[in-house]
Structure 1
Amino acid sequence: MAMTIIKLVIASTIALGNDEVYYWTYALNLEWNYFDHPPFVAWLIRTTTANLYIHNELAVRLGAIISSTIGTIIVYKIGKLLLNARVGWFAVLLYSSSFYCSIIAGTFILPDSPQMVFWLWSIFLLLKITKSIHLRLPTLSLWCWFGVATGICMMCKIHGIYLWVAVVLFALFSNRKFMVQKGMYVSMLISLIIVSPFIIWNIQHHFITYTYHSNRVSLFHAGINPLAFAREISGQIFYNNPIIFFLAWITVFSLAKTKHHHLKSEIQLLLYCALPLIATLIILSIFRDTLPHWSGPAYTCLIFLSALKLESFTLSKVKTIISVSMLFFLFVVCTGLVAINFYKGSFSPQKDPMHFGASDPTLDLYGWKETGRIIDSIYRLDKSSQRDKTVHTIVITKWFPAAHLDFYVCARTGLHTYGIGEIFDLHQYYWSNQTKQQLTAGDNVYYIIPSNLYDENSLNLIKSQFKDCKPPIITPIFRNGVICKNILLFKLNGYKE
């Protein structure tokens, strides 16, 4: 209950982040797949916003909070299934103090949010299948449900494929009895049927999702990238909570001395679900940029091993570990909330009006409601003056901050965004252009960008498409009484077509 209250406070008091608001735009037009990810997050947002009727941050994020609650229940059941209820509670406490599990995927709305429900459900089913095989009990229905769980998991985020990687590795190297399980092949078929819309969409769109993600992680023509490697490792440590991270790896390296020899198959299965994904991302990060939260599902599997490890500790030692973990979690969350909402001005040293606040990550989560009010007042004034041809469009060159403009500005003003530029900058906006009012010769538009994201090359690209661009209207956004960034509004006249 306390954790749910914390999540509701966070979800209600800070603006949507770049990724979150972009996934909200998915829900505007339901598809079987999108440029970056499969569709489940769009379905979830569409549901929690009551078919987009409720327009606020909490409604958009509610699916993540509900998913996290369901996930926590499954975590307890997995711990209990492994050994006993105490291990279940240890797992729940560790899971709850992980920034990835409770905040990144458990409060902010990402494809990871619903993915964690089906990832954990899949783990639970795999463990039940393993125990059932050992006891010579029927497994077909469990395998069918595993096919459903993994299929939906992959429809949340393609990382779910690593669940099947784990099954194959476990069958080949640890338990050959899996190979003769008819249910396993039925389960594969069920998963394939569920993800078939994703596959068909990519065929129709020339595998753009695969092209995009492979471009992000391809090793070809890539040299050693020590900064990306350091960012991946440090990100894994922080996102999973340093206490949990080091406890997990201490547990992994001490498994040879484990007292739970009767759980050998279950422990091996959890390792197969965790280590391939973690190893893949670490290897990729040596050459290319990766995102540390991609490894989050894998670390949840190590949490169960850590909970088993805690079972062998004295009660006082367990209380110390969990208390330190929770206190660190609460300290970071409270510090983050205060910094985002109440820090005076900006963390950035950049004070040039056109770049004010550059490189301050907290500004992605602050000032957007004020931006909506500012643009609305300018737009109303322009409409009432009737000096220029009426503006209907905000042109954008990148998916961010385009999605913020859609949620906080367009929903208020009735304007719509329209993308100009390359598909790898526009992402889903490249296709959403087709459902919007097209630009015609002579049209006037706005180009709106916060100063912390201002890019002269993007402005020049847009200016080349119009006959005239007026100097920007610069309006400040204040945080705790001090300017933290500016909103730059450019008026461009005469679209050249």
Structure 2
Amino acid sequence: MAVIKVIIASVTALGNDEVYYWTYALNLQWNYFDHPPFVAWLIRTTTANLSIHSELAVRLGAIISSTIGTVIVFKTGKLLRNNRVGWFAALLYSSSFYCSIIAGTFILPDSPQMVFWLWSIFLLLKIIRSTGQGLPTLSLWCWFGLAAGLCMMCKIHGVYLWVGMILFVLFSDRKLLVQKGIYISALISLMIVSPLIIWNIRHHFITYTYHSNRVSLFHAGINPLAFAREIGGQLFYNNPIIFFLAWVAVLSFINTKNLFLKSEIKLLLFCSLPLIVTLIFLSIFRDTLPHWSGPAYSCLIFLSALKLESFNDKKIKTIIGASILFFLFVVSAGLFTINFYKGTFSTQTGALSLGAGDPTLDLYGWKETGKIIDSIYRLDKPLEKNKKVHTIVITKWFPAAHLDFYVCRKTGLHTYGLGEIFDLHQYYWYNPSKPKLAVGDNAYYIIPSNLYDENSINFIKSQFQSCSLPIILPIFRNGAVCKNILLFKLNGYKKNNASVITANK
């Protein structure tokens, strides 16, 4: 699986989120606009302190994390019953699109999160097993506090580990409340996440203001499309075969008579169902992202592996074989579509909107974009009227991060954000560390046609004395144009506080 992931990581351009998280690593902090800092630390490490500039180096942390996660999954299955269950769990984990591709190949906060989430589940199961056998648990509680704290430093969803554990204690095993380890563990987790809390206090909890706006129920009506997208996403991201097997296992084990595993099964349910139910409920009213439920489904993989143990060998081979074959088919089809599909399957054919709605274009054509923009910049640079061009102005965090990774590193240009903080995200705080866009400066505005937005263009025009018609630069895929890169030359910046004013508001 690691070999497959290395190939995927090497032949596919970075996605919108991935390059954005790479910008985190350029300026290490204790928290960022969208997420805690661990993904930035991981990228900084795998790129050898940013000295290696390649897609594989940026994604290597995800591949390593997924490999470690697979080992933990096997050990957890072995702890629950035997090596055979551990092997089943590892195979199911490896054929989950979320576990192996979304979080296991592409670099996201979910990538390191899964290591600490799975480690935490393993430790909680050992705590339950040790308590039942009368063995000491203090060291296990301390390790759990560390693992859960680091999980929250990857992504705030890690708090559901504590939610699940507390629900288990309250509804299944209150004897754990008398163990001092649980309180020491909570203190350790709190100490680890304290920098994150302090950062948010200083920045008026901007992260949670943003996310609450995304999922707030106030004034929100029923949103059947968002609900369908959440359910469909959970089904597909976790592999349909694994998804249905997981829910068959849940229904089977809810009323289990197996006293030996009853506590462990309850723990797995408490650590998975609250997150899944929360997201499904929110999706009734607001847009959610289906991959948010990925960690919860990783807990259900263990129930699936236990359920497989009760099947005959022929049925087991059929289920696992179908799961792996479906995984390989979708991954192969995806790679082919991204890299070799002729042109675009978007219905938009206009020069300014070509490729709109084609998600594969986020992962294609960026190296070519860097080369083309570099050629134009080299031609412009000797001209007297363009001597001041050192900036690419941006109004949104995407495709700003793509421009930073593929264009700015090649040309020496830098991005500078203008506009609202909720469009710029972390880019608002990047501005002070960059050369200021001074009154009278010239600049570029670069946008791929699949992301073209008339409102953004009008806003940019209002900030400069003049804006040229776009230079249309075609990007080809398998011999046909799949999108255009639109380059606007901007002359005479009018003011230097547009982004600051909107952000302070």
Settle same-fold status: TM greater than 0.5: yes
Unaligned runs of 5+ in 1: none
Partner residue of 1:211? Answer: 209
Q: 99, 104, 107: which one pairs with 1:106?
A: 104
User: Would the aligned equivalents of 2:230 and 2:289 in 1 still touch at CA under 8 Å?
Assistant: yes
Aligned pairs (5 A) from 1:21-60: 21-60=19-58
Q: In the TM superposition, what whole-angstrom CA distance separates every residue of 1:243-296 from its partner, at most 9, and x where no partner exists?
A: 000000011111156463310000000000000000000000000000000000
Q: In the TM superposition, what whole-angstrom CA distance separates every residue of 1:404-455 from its partner, at most 9, and x where no partner exists?
A: 0000000000000000000000000010111111111100000000000000
| Aligned-partner SS, 2:381 | helix
| Aligned-partner SS, 2:271 | helix
User: Aligned pair 1:115/2:113, yes or no?
Assistant: yes
User: Aligned pair 1:242/2:240, yes or no?
Assistant: yes
| Aligned-partner SS, 1:223 | coil
User: Would the aligned equivalents of 1:389 and 1:443 in 2 still touch at CA under 8 Å?
Assistant: no
Partner residue of 2:154? Answer: 156
| Aligned-partner SS, 1:478 | strand
Query: Structure 1 runs of 4+ off > 6 angstroms?
Result: none
Find the aligned partners of 1:386 and 1:347 in 2 and give their Cα distance.
Answer: 42
* Aligned-residue identity in percent: 79
Q: 158, 175, 178: which one pairs with 1:177?
A: 175
Partner residue of 2:319? Answer: 321
Letter of the aligned partner of 2:26 in structure 1?
Answer: L
Partner residue of 2:200? Answer: 202
Find the aligned partners of 1:279 and 1:356 in 2 and give their Cα distance.
Answer: 39
Find the aligned partners of 1:78 and 1:425 in 2 and give their Cα distance.
Answer: 42
| Aligned-partner SS, 2:325 | helix
Unaligned runs of 5+ in 2: 496-505
Q: In the TM superposition, what whole-angstrom CA distance separates every residue of 1:120-174 from its partner, at most 9, and x where no partner exists?
A: 0000000000001001111000000000000000000000000000111011000
Letter of the aligned partner of 1:203 in structure 2?
Answer: I
Q: 134, 137, 143: which one pairs with 1:136?
A: 134
TM-score by length of 1: 0.99
Q: 254, 279, 282: which one pairs with 2:280?
A: 282
Partner residue of 1:475? Answer: 473
Partner residue of 1:444? Answer: 442
Instruction: Measure how far apart 1:390 and its partner are.
Output: 2.6
Find the aligned partners of 2:265 and 2:386 in 1 and give their Cα distance.
Answer: 69
User: Would the aligned equivalents of 1:64 and 1:107 in 2 still touch at CA under 8 Å?
Assistant: yes
Instruction: Measure how far apart 1:389 and its partner are.
Output: 3.3
Find the aligned partners of 2:469 and 2:384 in 1 and give their Cα distance.
Answer: 19
TM-score by length of 2: 0.97
Partner residue of 1:362? Answer: 360
Find the aligned partners of 1:437 and 1:177 in 2 and give their Cα distance.
Answer: 60
User: Would the aligned equivalents of 2:256 and 2:262 in 1 still touch at CA under 8 Å?
Assistant: no
Q: In the TM superposition, what whole-angstrom CA distance separates every residue of 1:216-255 from its partner, at most 9, and x where no partner exists?
A: 1111111100000000000000000000000000111111
Q: CA RMSD in A?
A: 0.7
Letter of the aligned partner of 2:104 in structure 1?
Answer: G
Letter of the aligned partner of 1:449 in structure 2?
Answer: I
User: Would the aligned equivalents of 2:77 and 2:85 in 1 still touch at CA under 8 Å?
Assistant: yes
Find the aligned partners of 2:236 and 2:258 in 1 and give their Cα distance.
Answer: 29
Find the aligned partners of 2:476 and 2:176 in 1 and give their Cα distance.
Answer: 61
Partner residue of 1:229? Answer: 227
User: Would the aligned equivalents of 1:395 and 1:418 in 2 still touch at CA under 8 Å?
Assistant: yes
User: Would the aligned equivalents of 1:219 and 1:287 in 2 still touch at CA under 8 Å?
Assistant: yes
Partner residue of 2:340? Answer: 342
Find the aligned partners of 1:4 and 1:66 in 2 and give their Cα distance.
Answer: 8
Aligned pairs (5 A) from 1:249-398: 249-256=247-254, 258=256, 260-398=258-396
Find the aligned partners of 1:259 and 1:265 in 2 and give their Cα distance.
Answer: 11
Find the aligned partners of 1:328 and 1:57 in 2 and give their Cα distance.
Answer: 26
Partner residue of 2:503? Answer: none
Of 247-256 and 127-136, more deviation after overlay is shown by: 247-256
Find the aligned partners of 1:288 and 1:486 in 2 and give their Cα distance.
Answer: 33
Letter of the aligned partner of 1:74 in structure 2?
Answer: I
Find the aligned partners of 1:8 and 1:453 in 2 and give their Cα distance.
Answer: 29
| Aligned-partner SS, 1:363 | helix
Partner residue of 1:400? Answer: 398
Aligned length: 495
Find the aligned partners of 2:105 and 2:423 in 1 and give their Cα distance.
Answer: 27
Letter of the aligned partner of 1:385 in structure 2?
Answer: L
Find the aligned partners of 1:269 and 1:122 in 2 and give their Cα distance.
Answer: 12
